[in-house]
Chain A
């Protein structure tokens, strides 16, 4: 059973870059066919899709965040990462990493989720 774990600073200053890593266990990212996603949830609000990276390296981003985002993958470390530039208080949220349900699901939607990590943007 695949497991995902987010890690990174819990506090980021305004205008700086938020950086998170998702470590995947229970399977190799090299096996292919999966979409690796980031989703966030602002306090008391609903889910917001940030973007995903396919195992080949191609990416899709939320159009409203695209200019500030980079998602990358390092299959040798079984990790993928998120960078959000020029953060403001509006980027304060629980950030989740996730994987597509199975290797033949080409929808880009999420099946397995990490437990989430709270990132607060504040000076």
Chain B
């Protein structure tokens, strides 16, 4: 059972806008930055969004992040076939002397 809650799956057709949610608590999302990672099966995770809504260099502006209270969202606009991957949210958690927590991951299927 992951500390951060994500839907196990999401889907969309090419060109659509898809959002993936991530729900936490005051000890993690509510008080700390949220990060999003994309993992194509068989490869290492890649940082998509840092510090709630900042895209690292090289990440297309089709990807955007937002946070409100103890929840966060990743939005992907203009969906493309290469966006099919697993997406994970993560945050620092202040409990138990502090540690990083992940969501369980959302498998995005491009129909």
Contacts and interface: CB of A to CB of B under 8 A. Distances in A.
A53 to B, nearest CB: 13
B44 A114 contact: yes
Contacts of A37: 100
Given A96-B45, A107-B32, A114-B44, A47 B102 contact: yes
Interface string A83-123: 00000000000001000010001011111111110000000
Contacts of B37: 47, 110
Interface string B29-70: 000110101010001111100110000100000000000000
A116 B50 contact: no
A46 B98 contact: no
A63 B102 CA distance: 14
B56 A108 contact: no
> Interface extent on B, as a size class?
20 to 34
> Interface extent on A, as a size class?
20 to 34
Contact of A61 (B32, B99, B101): B99
A62 B95 CA distance: 11
A47 B45 contact: yes
Contact of B92 (A39, A46, A107): A107
A60 B14 CA distance: 42
A47 B105 contact: yes
A62 B47 contact: no
Contacts of B96: 63
Contacts of B86: 46
B22 interface: no
Contacts of B103: 46
Interface of B: 2, 32-33, 35, 37, 39, 43-47, 50-51, 56, 86, 88, 90-92, 96-105
Query: What are the 7 A-B residue pairs with the smallest beta carbon separation, nearest first?
Result: A49-B100, A113-B44, A46-B105, A63-B96, A109-B35, A47-B102, A46-B104
